[in-house]
Structure 1
Amino acid sequence: MKKQMLGRCPVCTSHLDVTRLHCKSCDTTIEGRFEPCKFCRLPLDQKEFVEVFIKSRGNIKEVERELGVSYPTVRGRLEAVIEALGYRPEPVPKNDPENAKRRKEVLDALNNGEISAEEAVQLLKNQN
């Protein structure tokens, strides 16, 4: 098993710089100060989460199943990775009572046969 490059100092948790690169094929060594990629700086548990997320093609249900965690846990881990990569996650919209009322009206109309499933989907998409 290959050792993984550290992205953070094990003593103080600051970002580490890579100062030496070596090619084992031609024995070339390059020295300097190199920034590791953003993903290299993620803690191991976040790297593993990203790998599962990508392997699942972003399908949250598959991520839930593979990791054995709930939807809110998957969302929380995804938000943590987004922040660790230096991005600000967009706030999850609060349930707007008026929007919820309109959604219920659309679903009731669908249930009563007043509109088709396609019309309901379109109406629900237009609410967001």
Structure 2
Amino acid sequence: MPKMLPRCPVCGKPMKVTQLKCEEDSITVSGYFEVPEFCFLDEEDTRFIVMFLRTKGNLKELERLTGIGYFALRGRLDKVLEKMGLTPIEELTDDEQVDQEEVFKLLKEKKITVEEAISLLKKKGEK
């Protein structure tokens, strides 16, 4: 199955997922669907993230397994984060960290839904 195109091959603008289909019973649902950032990583980046997760985020262990130097792995991780539009937590300002922690606390206490938390975090990212 081919990977999704993150950007239009003609104009370069972001592509939107507008249709889902069940192969079992041929039901098709149309609309605009949010797609996780992981869907737009290329195969090499996906393999890297899987290895990173399997080593439980331990870059020293990943270095041992792959033979790739620690700093090269850090650079690779930074590039994947950038491709996904994510800012490392250590680079967030104190205000952003407090707000994010607050949102996650409300979510954990089930005072807001996942969709509301995502919306709040997106609004914070736009400021």
Return the TM-score normalized by structure 1: 0.58
Q: Distance in 2 between matches of 1:65 and 1:8?
A: 35
Superposition deviation, residue 13 in structure 1: 4.6
Q: Match for residue 28 of structure 2?
A: 29
C-alpha deviation, 1:58, in angstroms: 1.0
1:69 aligns with 2:59: no
1:25–1:12 CA distance, 2 compared to 1 (3 A): same
Aligned-partner Cα distance in 2 for 1:31–1:21: 6
Structure-1 separation of matches of 2:27 and 2:17: 16
Structure number, greater radius of gyration: 1
Distance, in Å, in 2 between the alignment partners of 1:46 and 1:13 is: 21
**Once the two structures are aligned, what percentage of the paired residues are identical?**
41
Distance of aligned partners of 1:56 and 1:9 in 2 relative to their CA distance in 1, 3 Å threshold: farther
3-state SS, counterpart of residue 47 of structure 1: helix
Q: Which residue identity lines up with residue 56 of structure 1 in the other structure?
A: T
Structure 1 gap segments, 5+ residues each: 92-128
What stretches of structure 2 of length at least 5 have no aligned partner? 92-127
Match of 1:126 in 2: none
| CA distance in 1: counterparts of 2:51 and 2:64, whole angstroms | 10
Q: Distance in 2 between matches of 1:11 and 1:56?
A: 39
| Residues 13 and 44 of structure 1: CA distance in aligned 2, closer, same or farther (over 3 Å) | farther
Change (3 A) 1:27 1:42: same
Report the aligned-residue RMSD. Answer: 2.2
Contact 1:52 1:63 in 2 (8 A): yes
Number of paired residues?
90
Other structure's SS at 1:15 match: coil
- The residue type paired with residue 57 of structure 1 is K
